[in-house]
Structure 1
Amino acid sequence: MYRYTDFDAGFVAERNRQFRAQVARRIDGSLTEDEFKPLRLMNGLYLQLHAYMLRVAIPYGTLDSRQMRQLAQIAERWDKGYGHFTTRQNIQFNWPVLGDVPDILDALAEVEMHAIQTSGNTIRNVTADHFAGAAADEVADPRPVAELIRQWSTDHPEFQFLPRKFKIAVTGSPADRAVTAAHDIGLRIVRAADGGIAYQVLVGGGLGRTPMIGKVLHDALPEADLLPYLEAIVSVWNLLGRRDNKYKARIKITVHEHGIDEIRRLVEARFAETRAAFSGIDQVMLAGIRAAFAPPAFRDAPVDAYHAARDADPVFRAWTDSNLAAHRAEGYAIVQVSLKAHGATPGDASALQMRVLADVAERYGHDELRISHEQNVVLPHVHLSDLPALHAILRAHGLGTANIGKVSDIIACPGMDYCALATARSIPVAQEIALRFDALKIEHQVGDLKIKISGCINACGHHHVGHIGILGLDRAGVENYQITLGGDQGPDAALGQRTGPGFSADEIVPAVERIVETYLAERAGAEEDFLATFRRIGMAPFKAALYDAPDKEARADAA
């Protein structure tokens, strides 16, 4: 993985020194909260519903054991003993005291971490496929180019005061596990005609109050052109983007208003200028960065113990069926560690659990960890022979739930339990759904089903691209939950369709249950997943299950 240079270390140290002085001025009253706000946002510090919240970047979701242990130490020393992993491959600490934040930032810097550009109207943390460097279906590891983009975008003098926040995601797999179509810029690594690396460039994706799927701006951009092309895109939007209305400021609105063809024309014109300015220095940097992402030394060992454990232990077998993914190296697997034990808060990990994850990564996983946008942790390189021992340790610490991709593996934003923008709770709904389906014991019968929950229209829970999406809203002081069906976050990304009137907090879990019951009754065999069934039969059977009930009229009136 990438290691800080002297320049990186000095840059972060200086930013932390500056912010320490700014915090001191806020505490002594020299700065008002309004004056302090833009300064704290530049350093990932939010003022949430109950307290400050610090958002720490985990670039392209990659960590090692040393960094994970430091996050655990921060959680124990300066927070309430846990952290929350987000859909942007960050970690949030929800309860820091303002005066402690400079010390937290210095502790992060000790392990080459920071909170820079995790907030504000700038280019945010670059995200990537959480199976990067390990997946059997990968064209190329997306992390080197994600690191190049991180270095280019950090403190970029032209892009520190953009019309709105700007998000970039990179995937190296045709499966697109990075949800590229829902980002301001999505990059998909493809093979060029000559067999080299190229990028399909999507622009104008995003969720929130005006959800849109990204449009293809370039089908196969040569790798040597990538950085100047990105600079051209952001430069064009920086000039065109709306600054009169923050709800219309995102690049998706700019693309919608001007059209993809006009945006392409403007970008190509600007690209002719930026390309000459780069003069190939970015490719020199990329070559150096790539060397830091060389694969580990994989070992060859017998796998008999793994197969014997699967035959002897049904719990272990269920976990391997659900939580493993195909690895590029023979004898290895990608392990997905669920942070969604039934009834737990999605994405939360205690300090103890973080240390356990650090320990097993060091012992069994070539000292590598990934954070997924689905709020789970990934051990990308584990030999099959180590899986029985690994599973035993994970299970002993509440990390062995066999539910990856299942009903209870729910993406949920913090909602009204923490967020000042939220209009409804997300966490309790996710917990209740998980507990209900655990009680029904049909989760594995249902199979893969992605449920995503947002507590407001900002859509931090990605509900628009959930197979079942749930949006919590305030209706005259009462929480009301709208449902969408048929969303897809993959290569053929699609926005879910709204079913109709919303449901109260008491009704939402039974409503989800009726949707799942309808799917089980209508699917064409156990191999047909929810999305395929929905696309085949359409909305009508699900609407009938949801609304053809004695309280239908009362529910419609309430919505």
Structure 2
Amino acid sequence: MYSYSDFDHAFVAERNRQFRNQVERRISGALTEDEFRPLRLMNGLYLQLHAYMLRVAIPYGTLSSRQMHKLADIADKWDKGYGHFTTRQNIQYNWPKLSDVPDMLDALGEVQMHAIQTSGNTIRNVTADHFAGAAADEIADPRPVAELLRQWSTDHPEFQFMPRKFKIAVSGSEADRAVLRAHDLAFQIVKNEAGEIGYKVIVGGGLGRTPMIGKVLRDFLPQADLLPYAEAIVSVWNVLGRRDNKYKARIKITVHEHGIEEISRLVEERFEYTKPLFSGTDQEQLKAIEAQFAAPDFVSKGTENFDRAYDSDPVFRSWADTNLSAHKADGYAIAQISIKKHGDTPGDASSAQMRVMADIAKEFGHNELRISHEQNVVLPHVHKDDLPEIHARLKAHDLATANIGQISDIIACPGMDYCALATARSIPVAQQIATRFDELKLEHDIGHLQIKISGCINACGHHHVAHIGILGLDRAGVENYQITLGGDATQTAAIGTRTGPGFAYDEIVPAVERLVAAYLELRLNEDETFLETYRRVGMPPFKEALYGEAATKRVKAA
């Protein structure tokens, strides 16, 4: 893991000192809320429906056990005993008092964490594949690249007041586990025909009210050109990006209006200027960063405990089949911890649960945890023979739900329960769907199916790229939920298609149930996923299940 340099420590401490002074001035009345707003946003502090909300950066989703313990301590001391993990691999505290926020930031600084640039019209927290450094299919660990981008973008003088926020993601595998094509800018590590490592550059993706899939700007960018090319892209957008309409200010609109060919021409032209400015110092820094991300010393031992538990314990076997993924080291696995027990709030973890996960990582997981954009926690390096003990400890704290990638593993934004922008509830809908399919005992028969829910058009719940997407809107003061089908967040990314009219709050769960029933009837076999079935048969049979005469009769009868 990356460890702060003296510069990092001094920089974060000075930013915290400045913000403490700004908070004191706001409390005293020396600053109005309008004057304070840009200052707090630069430090990750939002004003939500009921209280302030502090968003803490977890760069590329990587945490140590010490850092997770500190997050738990902060939740207990200054919040309500829990934190909410987000789709940008951050954590949010929903109930801090303004006067306590400087102390919270100082506590974060003690474990090399901060909240800088988690909000505002700047480059946000750089995200990455949550299996980075562990995945069996990985070309190279993308986290050093993400850390280099973090250092370059933090407090960059040209990029602090851009047309809108700017989001970057990186991945080291062909399989996209970082939603690359829904980002403003993404770098996928690839190899060319000569075996040299470089990057596929994807630009202009984004969700919100105008969802778009990113376009390839370069099939292969040499490794040495990463930062000057990134700077060229952001510089071009910073000049071209619209400031007359915030809804059309994101780079996806700029790419759409000017065309990818013109954007490419302008970026290449700007790149000729930015490239000499770096003169190789960035590559020296990258090598220094890479040294801090060396793989842990993997242990060589048998898998007798794992094999015995897998053969004899059906509960453990179900969890292992659902929540484990292939690791690059023999005898190891990647374990995903679901923090979405049926009926719980997606993404919420109590301080006690945080401490349990931290302790497990310290004892069994080479002291590493990851936060996924899917709002779960990952143990990237665990030996298979330790997994029965890990599972037992997780189970004792409601953390052993075997539902990763299943219908109850729902991504959901905070919605109208917390967010000032939301127009409908998200959390209760997610809870009801998860509970309903747990009651039906269909979840594992259904297989891989991603539901994502947003409580407003800003799409923080990524509903556009869900197999079944749900968007909550306000229709004349009444919550109305639109459904989209066929979205995809992977390397075959696609924006879902709207099915038709929306559903009332009390109709949305039965509507999802009808969709799933239609899928189970339509699929060729148990191995064909919902998305594969949808792509094969198209919208009509699912639309019939939602709105057809038989469906209407069932609704009226209910």
Flag whether TM exceeds 0.5 (same fold): yes
Query: Which residue is equivalent to 2:526?
Result: 526
Q: 2:522 and 2:553 mapped to 1: Cα distance?
A: 26
SS of match in other structure, 1:252? helix
- Amino acid of the structure 1 residue aligned with 2:68: M
Q: Deviations over 1:383-421 (max 9, x none)?
A: 000000000000000100000000000000000000000
C-alpha distance in structure 1 between counterparts of 2:223 and 2:417, whole Å: 44
Question: How far apart, CA to CA, are the structure 2 residues paired with 1:320 and 1:13?
Answer: 43
- Answering whether residue 99 of structure 2 is matched by residue 99 of structure 1, we say yes
SS class of match (1:545) = helix
Q: Which runs of 5+ in 2 are unaligned?
A: none
Residue by residue over 1:68-107, the C-alpha shift from the partner in whole angstroms, topping out at 9 and shown as x without a partner, is 0000000000000000000000000000000000000000
Q: CA deviation at 1:554?
A: 13
Equivalents in 2 of 1:408, 1:71: separation in Å?
A: 26
Give deviations 1:29-50, integer Å, cap 9, x for gaps. Answer: 0000000000000000000011
CA distance in 2, matches of 1:464, 1:118: 22
Equivalent-residue separation in structure 1 for 2:58 and 2:549 (angstroms): 47
Partner-residue secondary structure (3-state), 1:118: coil
Question: Take 1:193 and 1:227, find their aligned partners in 2: how far apart are those partners?
Answer: 23
Q: Which residue of 2 aligns with 1:332?
A: 332
Rounded Cα–Cα distance in structure 1 between residues aligned with 2:537 and 2:553: 25
* Contact residue 343 and residue 431 of structure 1 kept, 8 A: yes
- The letter for the 2-side match of 1:529 is T
Q: CA deviation at 1:548?
A: 1.1
Match of 2:178 in 1: 178
Number of the residue aligned with 1:366: 366
- Give the residue type in structure 1 aligned to 2:469: G
Q: Which residue of 1 aligns with 2:52?
A: 52
Aligned partner of 1:377 in structure 2 is 377
Contact 1:43/1:119, CA 8 A, preserved across alignment: yes
User: In structure 2, what is the equivalent of residue 190 of structure 1?
Assistant: 190
Q: Distance between the aligned counterparts of 2:354 and 2:512, measured in 1?
A: 32
Aligned length, in residue pairs: 556
Instruction: Give the equivalent residue in structure 2 for 1:512.
Output: 512
Contact 1:503/1:555 (CA < 8 Å) preserved in 2?
no
User: Which residue is equivalent to 1:420?
Assistant: 420
Unaligned runs of 5+ in 1: none
Cα distance in structure 2, aligned partners of 1:504 and 1:549: 18
2-structure distance, mates of 1:217, 1:472: 34
C-alpha displacement at 1:21, in angstroms?
0.2
Any conservation in 2 of the 1:424–1:472 contact (CA below 8 Å)?
A: yes
Structure 1 residue aligned with 2:443? 443
State the distance in 2 between where 1:427 and 1:379 align. Answer: 26
Corresponding residue for 1:396?
396
Query: What is the 5 A alignment of 1:30-429?
Result: 30-429=30-429
Secondary structure of 2:425's aligned partner: coil
Q: Deviations over 1:169-221 (max 9, x none)?
A: 00111111000000000111101222121111010000000000000000010
Structure 2 distance, partners of 1:549, 1:23, is 59
Secondary structure of 1:163's aligned partner? coil
| 1:9-63 C-alpha deviation (Å, 9 max, x unpaired) | 0000000000000000000000000000000000000000110000000000000
- For the residue of structure 2 that corresponds to 1:370, the secondary structure is strand
Per-residue Cα deviation, 1:117-170 (whole angstroms, up to 9, x for no partner):
000000000000000000000111000000000000000000000000000000
Contact 2:42 2:117 in 1 (8 A): yes
Deviation at 1:492, TM superposition (A): 1.1
> What RMSD, in angstroms, separates the aligned Cα atoms of the two structures?
1.2
| Amino acid in the other structure paired with 2:161 | F
In the alignment, residue 209 of structure 2 is paired with which amino acid? Answer: R
Change (3 A) 1:530 1:233: same
Change (3 A) 1:551 1:304: closer
Letter in 2 for 1:345: T
Check conservation: 1:406, 1:444, Cα contact below 8 A. yes
Deviation at 1:7, TM superposition (A): 0.2
TM superposition score normalised by structure 1? 0.99
TM-score normalised by structure 2 residue count: 0.99
Letter in 2 for 1:408: S
Are the counterparts in 1 of residues 332 and 381 from structure 2 also a CA contact under 8 Å? Answer: yes
Q: Does structure 2 conserve the Cα–Cα contact (< 8 Å) formed by 1:192 and 1:222? A: no
In structure 1, what is the Cα distance between the partners aligned to 2:511 and 2:551?
A: 12
Distance 2:268 2:460 in 1: 32
Measured in 2, the distance between the counterparts of 1:261 and 1:116 equals 34
Q: 2:545–2:551: 8 Å Cα contact kept in structure 1?
A: no
Q: Please give the alpha-carbon distance, in whole angstroms, between the structure 1 residues aligned to 2:512 and 2:363.
A: 40
